[in-house]
Amino acid sequence: MNVTIDKNSGYCFGVEFAIQMAEDEMDQGGELYCLGDIVHNAMEVERLTKKGLKVINREQLKELRDCKVLIRAHGEPPETYQLALNNNIELVDASCPVVLKLQNRVKSAFDKMEEVEGQIVIYGQEGHAEVVGLTGQTKDKAIVVTKEEDLEKIDFSRPVTLFSQTTKSTKGFYRISALIEEKMKEQKGAEVVNYDYNDSICRQVSNREPQLQKFSKEHDVIVFVSGKKSSNGKALYSVCKAENDKSYFVENELELDPSWFKPSYSVGICGATSTPMWLMENVATFIKNIFAETGTAS
């Protein structure tokens, strides 16, 4: 059996940077809190928790004083920074530069939309950490849409500016954008509509789609390794499944089913931007060991 790990899978820059910052801080000693899971991967969160990282939620943050709190790659809304200032909390800010740039763009667009009674629409997952940070730039007035039914929240007679959560599907974004434009034209007839869309999907994410399409075609079986909470993981897994029906989603090697494999198969291992390489290597090793005794794994 041939087992190959996709060289393009694994952490994106933002996640890698946040984890490195957390480990550097913990190596220096002292307590370090993290506002939410540092990455949407339970195995990696468990590893860092054992090293001393304390994961907290927003309610727990309000009770903290005189300590260090890590802001993960997803970014945070303005009120988090104000709370830290009020409570003398030192923030270790690991917000992804791509997300920070998007937050600034959303804030600028929101200010302009306020002048013309327009709407900011964000294509993303309601409640997702990054989306919470983005809507925070709009005083929580932004409309979050995930699927076509959510478009009912939009007033198509008013101006609209659309952005996307950085880890969403490019195909999904352009589909939603086309639907918004179509509905605005229906509302205003043949008039030119006041609509602006911004493809704010991270290119490290969007570029993986064509890479994964090719990778999925090259193997008999695909094992996609990702945390179940990962929005990016769900999107990229769907890319694999569309190309190769023998694609399986697992969180770790314990979820593998030996019946998925045959000695003659070529197996491809890949993952989300929140999947650590060590976890994909564990999965690859486990698969090889299934047939190791017969000498068929390689």
Q: Which of 119-128, 162-171, 285-294 has the lowest mean pLDDT?
A: 285-294
In this prediction, residues 154-164 reach a mean pLDDT of 95
Whole-model pTM: value is 0.84
Residue 81 is which amino acid?
Y
Q: In degrees, to the nearest 5, what angle opens at C-alpha 252 toward C-alphas 250 and 254?
A: 100
Exposed, middle or buried: residue 261 (CB in 10 Å: 0-12, 13-18, 19+)?
buried
Confidence (pLDDT) at 191? 65
209 is annotated as an active-site residue: no
Query: Which range is most confident: 165-169, 227-231, 292-296?
Result: 165-169
Which of the two residues, 29 and 245, has the higher pLDDT score? 245
Query: If you average pLDDT over residues 32-56, what whole number do you get?
Result: 93
**Single-letter residue type at 280:** M
- Candidate from 88-92, 210-214, 227-231 with smallest mean pLDDT: 227-231
Confidence of residue 187 (pLDDT cuts 50, 70, 90): confident
Separation in Å, CA 180 to CA 104, 162, 168, 202: 23, 9, 17, 22
Instruction: Answer yes or no: is pLDDT of 235 > 60.
Output: yes
Give the chain's mean pLDDT.
Answer: 92
Catalytic residue among 25, 44, 76, 130: 130
Lowest mean pLDDT among 116-125, 159-168, 228-237: 228-237
Mean pLDDT value of segment 238-251? 96
Can you give the pLDDT at residue 190?
Answer: 60
Say whether pLDDT at 298 is over 50: no
The whole-number pLDDT of residue 222 equals 98
Query: Residue 245: is its pLDDT beyond 80?
Result: yes
What is the tens place of the pLDDT at every residue in 49-63? Answer: 999 999 999 999 999
Query: What average pLDDT does range 183-197 have in this prediction?
Result: 81
Question: Which DSSP letter does residue 153 get?
Answer: G
Confidence of residue 293 (pLDDT cuts 50, 70, 90): low
Q: List the beta strands (DSSP E) in 125-282.
A: 143-145, 160-164, 195-197, 221-225, 247-250, 266-271
Q: Which of 5-14, 26-35, 49-58, 180-189 has the lowest mean pLDDT?
A: 180-189
Looking at residue 135, its amino acid is T
